[in-house]
Structure 1
Amino acid sequence: MELLSEYGLFLAKIATVVVAIAVIAALIINLTQRKRQRGELKVTRLSEHYKEMQEEMSVALLDGHQQKLWHKAQKKKLKLEAKAAKAKAKAGEPEENGKSRVYVLDFKGSMDAGEVNSLREEVTAVLSVVKPQDQVLLRLESPGGVVHGYGLAASQLQRLRDKNVPLTIAVDKVAASGGYMMACVADKIVAAPFAIIGSIGVVAQIPNFNRFLKGKDIDIELHTAGQFKRTLTLLGENTEEGRQKFRESLNETHDLFKGFVSQMRPSLDIESVATGEHWYGTQALDKGLIDAVGTSDELLLGLIEAHEVIGIRYQHRKKLMERFTGSATESIDHLLMRWWQRGQKPMM
């Protein structure tokens, strides 16, 4: 009996230790997740990346003896640069290369424009350090999506314009509808020859199951306070008055869209391009929708010689479940993109 008592006491001690360890681990994980949820700003010196790539190619084309000489000279050069940097740091002199900076942002938009959460952080980061001679390059890819999401994304870019920070937007694949709403904020739009540009229009569609439900003797009751609280419904019987109001709302949104584009690009003949159609890069140039034809790679290579090019990316830390649902959402967005490329129009 005494043995069982001691064994039970031993098990209780073990259980207490295990529970204590589990509680401490849970607290640490919780604190870590809270810290990660704040996100992380990643800064990449793209100038150095391109320079290293150029050097690698140059060295690869040399013969063995020349490569040895190059590496020897490179070591000597790096040693002298490190010595000079150390002397400057010791003297308290700031390390300046005399070049203005180009901050490079990326926006690959989904239907709900959820990427605006990172964009707002990136714009804030740039505005906190930007100097009068600096500029911003945004690589944009989006077929558009919900009105309020892309309206907010365009407003984030407007913050740069309001602070007189030169903004160039490069479109390699697509900037249509809400994507073009973002692009038109820029001082300069550069698009690849076959990039899809435009689609200044608004579309909305919903299925209606009312006739099916009536056939099954199922009644749907919809009660609203306000004549047009609901114009069209999924399950109830839609009226011609509701349809007309719905069309009016679409036209009002389209007018706002056209007004915004006209404000950003006053020289554009808005009525000729606000038909919901899209054009390829070379055609968009003729229409005045863009300012130049070219790829983002050409643009960056042209800037690297005279500027320090810096990539800015803000990443939100996600929980495990959010990562799973995010991957599912991304898959749906890719599917929607494929449908759009086969002839479907974006929402905005």
Structure 2
Amino acid sequence: MQYKEFLADFYDVFLEDLAKSRKMSSAELRKVINEGLANTPEKAVEYGLFDKVLYRQELIVQLRKKLGLDADEDVKFVGISQYDEARPGKKNFSADNKIAVLYAEGTVLDGQGANGTIGDKRYVNAIEDILEDDKIKAIVLRVNSGGGSALASENIWYALSKAKEAGKPLIVSMGDYAASGGYYIACMADSIYAEPNTITGSIGVFRMVPSIEKMMANKLGITMDSVKTGPFALGLNVMQDMSEEEARRAQVSTEEMYRLFIKRVADGRKMKPEAVNEIAQGRVWSGVDAKKIGLVDKLGDLNAAIKSAAKLGKIKDYRTVIYPSIKDPMQQLLEEFLGEGSDDEAKMGKIMQKEFPELVPAYELYRQAKTSHGFQARLQVVVPF
């Protein structure tokens, strides 16, 4: 039910934005779509969804005129990512004051982590570097993550809390996802910005303990006996099902981690734990609804968050610096050539993205299952739109 509600919110925002750009009401647009009125290019023009119907060659002629090009000159096109990078921004390279933009994208993992993941060791080091730079007056944490390791999330939360205690304002900007562990690391911010359709919340903890005991015994006839000094000496073992007492202890520790998550949110958002629990329990919210219930302060993009950070940092002239630092391309190439710092998982991900894009979601789930050790604070369902 909650995903149906979220999808309805997403659709409402989509209709509102599209209607505004086409200078029509949301009700008119909804009628056109629901009744299938614009089912041909000509009908789409009639109902205001398109401006004109043109062949590509005709479009290029019009573009040449708008750009002031001669009839034989080529029109140079750029991809959407290049266009996005070319947007004007705050690039005063002479300014002494800096705002750190800490990009936290991907699954939250224990350890160093690769590019495209949030390894707690790597991010704690980045936050400590930010803390040591007196010219950095504020931090913007850009979160695009469905979470991951609860312990890693706690470690990153602690490092960010120390940066706040040192007097560096922290503003969070949420992207597509800022859920579970992604929300955990964001909840203590001075202010949280989300997009209307950001998937956020999912405040919850779970733990996976696989067991292959019955499969090995029933399918292969393989059983395992153990000699141990105490009832819990083996720990949680995939070759043996948990005993009732082991399951009870695992449940108790999981609930304790959940209570800590609730406390972090309650302290950060200045809410009562009971109120947080009412909106937690793994439930997801759109950015619009998250603002209504107090998980988010404002709706806005990354630029809005940066402006807010500048205001809290009491600076006017500033430049943004990106963290974690990215290696120079030549250094990366040299390391790969020498076999140093290579990441087989990252390489496989690139191959999958290029050759089998439709299988990427399944591959990501497989990778996450491999790394799901200990308590997990992660969005359990990937919601494609």
TM-score when scaled to structure 1?
Answer: 0.62
The 2-side partners of 1:326 and 1:338 are apart by 10
Match of 2:150 among 147, 151, 158: 147
Is residue 180–residue 204 contact of structure 2 (8 Å, CA) maintained in 1? yes
Alignment RMSD: 3.5
Q: Does 1:207 align with 2:210?
A: yes
The 1-side partners of 2:224 and 2:152 are apart by 32
Code of the residue aligned with 2:169 in structure 1: it is: P
CA gap 1:148/1:299 in 2 versus in 1, 3 angstroms: closer
CA gap 1:328/1:220 in 2 versus in 1, 3 angstroms: farther
Alignment-derived partner of residue 291 in structure 2? 285
Is residue 231–residue 246 contact of structure 1 (8 Å, CA) maintained in 2? no
Match of 2:121 among 101, 117, 120: 117
1:278 CA displacement: 1.1
Match of 2:101 among 79, 101, 104: 104
Code of the residue aligned with 1:323 in structure 2: it is: S
Summarize deviations over 1:178-212 as a string: whole Å, max 9, x none. Answer: 11110012111111111111111111223322222
Aligned residue pairs total 252
Q: For residues 81-100 of structure 1, what are the structure 2 equivalents within 5 Å?
A: 100=97
Is residue 118–residue 315 contact of structure 1 (8 Å, CA) maintained in 2? no
Q: Does 1:310 align with 2:316?
A: no
SS in 1 for 2:231: coil
Is residue 232–residue 246 contact of structure 1 (8 Å, CA) maintained in 2? no
Summarize deviations over 1:239-288 as a string: whole Å, max 9, x none. Answer: 22222222112111111211222222222521212211111101111111
SS in 2 for 1:259: helix
Code of the residue aligned with 1:327 in structure 2: it is: A
Name stretches of at least 5 consecutive residues in structure 2 with no aligned partner.
1-65, 70-92, 114-118, 354-359, 367-371, 378-385
CA gap 1:107/1:214 in 2 versus in 1, 3 angstroms: same
Structure number with the higher helix fraction is: 1
Please identify, of 227-236 and 172-181, the stretch whose mean Cα deviation from structure 2 is larger.
227-236
Alignment-derived partner of residue 168 in structure 1? 171
Is residue 169–residue 309 contact of structure 2 (8 Å, CA) maintained in 1? no
Is residue 173–residue 194 contact of structure 1 (8 Å, CA) maintained in 2? yes
Name stretches of at least 5 consecutive residues in structure 1 with no aligned partner.
1-60, 65-94
The 2-side partners of 1:223 and 1:177 are apart by 39
Alignment-derived partner of residue 323 in structure 1? 342
The 2-side partners of 1:277 and 1:297 are apart by 28
Match of 2:361 among 335, 338, 345: 335
The 2-side partners of 1:162 and 1:251 are apart by 29
Give the structure with higher Rg (CA): 1
Please identify, of 172-181 and 108-117, the stretch whose mean Cα deviation from structure 2 is larger.
108-117
Is residue 108–residue 140 contact of structure 1 (8 Å, CA) maintained in 2? yes
The 2-side partners of 1:204 and 1:297 are apart by 37
